[in-house]
Amino acid sequence: MTTLTLNNGVEIPQIGFGTAAIGEWQQDDSFVTDTILKAMAVGYRHFDTASVYGNERALGRAILQSGIPRQELFVVSKVWDTEQGPKTTEAFERSLERLQLDYLDLYLVHWPVPAYTRETWEAMESLHDARKIRALGLSNFRKSDIEQIATFARIKPTYNQLELHPYLVQQEMVDYCQFHKIAVSCWSPLGSGSWSGVETKDKPIVDPVIVALADKYDVSAGQIILKWDVQQGRIVIPKSEKLEHITANFSLWDFELSDEEIQSINALNRDHRFGADPDTAHESNKNVAVPD
């Protein structure tokens, strides 16, 4: 399993397992736990959840049932918009309790809420000081949001999770993060899941350029896209519920894309978001509740 080293020396597996909307949005039952256990059996050790996903308990149960030593796992969760500011520490403790863990490997601010960022980040720094979090990071943060943190942070962000796929390459944002030694992670790396309502015909996995490369290397379209990310030093957290896809997404080492092929995928960029835009997401996020 390939790992990357974050700017604070913590190692993170480059391929993680996304858990948003396994089954349905905020589903938390044995199906979710069993899906995560499948991923663990395949070899995944990095698991990405969030309080708003409503499935931290399912991940916690999978960790217990797997018997995998805690130190071999890399567990990520996030603080939601409605939990930021003065509620951050309490929100973190609730996540930890639901997961039945003593610490998290990485804790993220799920979306930028600039009015709360300082208070949120300073609460996270205190949790890091108390050794309850090994690394602090961001999700969906823009350049301006990272510049804001730079004005007061004692502890530098290690990571920024972005919507990133061949139709939304975000090259300027990626370059900015990499220049500042902030690891880039890709959510919806294959162009959004079934929960999004986006039709398959509109996703990059059926783009002729991707399909031709998949045919050339005798792999899936998803594997081509994930390899495109991994070869450029990014972290990926694909989600799937089918064992064949869970396995394929983790099996990226038998082929290598050329520089020209990577550029041909970069050229598919349309600046097209399937998910929310950080410029406007907070207004709707305020109305989304974190389940107990």
Q: Which residues are catalytic?
A: 53
CB atoms within 10 A of CB 31: 14
Instruction: Judge contact between 163 and 264, C-beta under 8 A.
Output: no
Q: How far apart, in whole angstroms, are the C-alpha atoms of residue 284 and residue 276?
A: 9
As a whole number of Å, the end-to-end CA separation of the chain is 34
Phi-psi domain of 12 (left: phi exceeds 0; alpha: psi -120 through 50; beta: other): beta
Q: Which residue has the tokens 């309080």?
A: 51
Q: How far apart, in whole angstroms, are the C-alpha atoms of residue 52 and residue 76?
A: 13
Q: Is 245 helix (H, G, I), strand (E, B) or coil?
A: helix
Q: How far apart, in whole angstroms, are the C-alpha atoms of residue 103 and residue 118?
A: 22
77 strand-pairing partners: 107
Q: Is 180 annotated as a binding residue?
A: no
165 strand-pairing partners: 168
Q: Which residues of 84-94 are buried (b: 16+ CB within 10 A; e: fewer)?
A: bbebbbebbeb
Annotated binding-site positions for substrate:
110
Annotated binding-site positions:
110
